[in-house]
Amino acid sequence: MATVLSVNLNKIALLRNSRGRNYPQVEHYARECLLAGAGGVTIHPRPDQRHATYQDVASLKAVVEEFPGKELNIEGNPVADFLEVVLKNKPDQCTLVPDQPDQLTSDHGWELTTQSKQVVPIVEQLKAAGIRVSLFMDPVIEQIELAKQVGADRIELYTEGYARAFQSGNYASVLEQYKQAADYATSIGLEVNAGHDLDLQNLAAFLTIPNIKEVSIGHALIVESIDQGFTNVIKQYLKIAQ
């Protein structure tokens, strides 16, 4: 089965918020992703709502419902406000991430040796609402075993380590670590997603790992979209300004 691409739209929301009006529209780009064949869209509303907002969850739920079979994934730290919005809007998947409010971006997975107690009732609540639950995890076997024990349906492997190694040109052993983590997860009945710093250069090698259900990609996808459109747009302005 092909790996599903879920496009993370946080950067579109960040651009929108920088001007205080609804441009660019997150909903428009969600439709573009889904029309282009992406299997889903993701947002990661943080407590300060500096990019995706809680209102975006409801808007995107409505957009994704226009496309049968496509999925909405909401990521975030399960603080009370986040959970309330997720339970109200019932996305297809909720990816729980242990990020702090002041973090620039997610930079570690759950440490379930100490955090299981916190996570178990949240997983139960989300699953009871019919939401598939994924946990953002480092590629560490002991932690992945605990992810199964707390009742997660999936894990999302945090791939920044892989992306950095790929960039250095020396990534075989790191990729093997991710493969072992993914294989172990699959062997104990967890499905496997992956995300963070994946891009057009490093994705193909990562997907030599079998059974990756979904990749969630945002930052690089937006930068690559700018790269591939920037010169073209400048030429159009210059034509007008001649």
Q: Does 214 bind ligand PXP (CB under 6 A)?
A: no
56 is in an annotated binding site: no
Q: How far is the CB of 51 from ligand PXP (least distance, A)?
A: 9
Number of residues that bind ligand PXP (CB under 6 A): 19
DSSP 53-99: -HHHHHHHHHHHHTSTT-EEEEEE---HHHHHHHHHH--SEEEE---
Q: Given candidates 3, 8, 93, 134, which one binds ligand PXP under the rule CB under 6 A?
A: 8
50 is in an annotated binding site: no
Neighbours of 133 (CB within 10 A): 24
Q: Does 97 bind ligand PXP (CB under 6 A)?
A: yes
Tokens of 83: 């959970």
Strand partners, 45: none
DSSP 56-67: HHHHHHHHHHTS
Q: Which is nearer to ligand PXP, 162 or 184 (CB)?
A: 162
Q: Which is nearer to ligand PXP, 75 or 187 (CB)?
A: 75
Least Cα distance to 90 among 123, 55, 129, 52 occurs for 129
Least Cα distance to 44 among 4, 3, 12 occurs for 12
Q: Given candidates 29, 196, 203, 212, which one binds ligand PXP under the rule CB under 6 A?
A: 196
Q: Which is nearer to ligand PXP, 76 or 150 (CB)?
A: 76
Q: Given candidates 3, 53, 89, 106, which one binds ligand PXP under the rule CB under 6 A?
A: 106
Chain residues binding ligand PXP by CB under 6 A are 8, 10, 44, 75, 95, 97, 105-106, 136, 156, 195-198, 216-220
